[in-house]
Amino acid sequence: MVRMAQLLKSNTLAFGDILKKDDKVLNETHHIMATNQSRLKKELERLRIVTSRYGTTCWMQILLTLVVVIVFVWMYLFMKLFPKKTRLAEVADMSMATPSSVMPLTSSLTVVMSRHQTVHATAYPTPTTVAVVATKGINKNAVKHDEL
pLDDT in tens, 76-105: 999 999 887 766 555 555 555 544 444 444
Assessment of whether the complete model's pTM goes beyond 0.85: no
30 plus 71 within the same structural domain: yes
Q: Are residues 45 and 71 in the same domain?
A: yes
Q: Are strands 117-125 and 107-112 parallel, antiparallel or unpaired?
A: antiparallel
Same domain, yes or no: 68 and 1? yes
Residue 145 included in any domain: no
Q: 54-74: per-residue pLDDT in tens? A: 777 788 889 999 999 999 999
Q: Does 17 have pLDDT greater than 90?
A: yes
- Is 76 strand, coil or helix? helix
- Residue 9 domain-assigned (yes or no): yes
What backbone phi and psi angles, to 5 degrees, belong to 101? -90, -10
- Residue 60 sits in the same domain as residue 95: no
Q: Structural domain tally of the chain?
A: 2
96 and 28 co-located in one domain: no
Measured in whole angstroms, how far is the alpha carbon of residue 79 from the centre of its chain? Answer: 21
Question: Which residues constitute the domain of residue 105?
Answer: 87-140
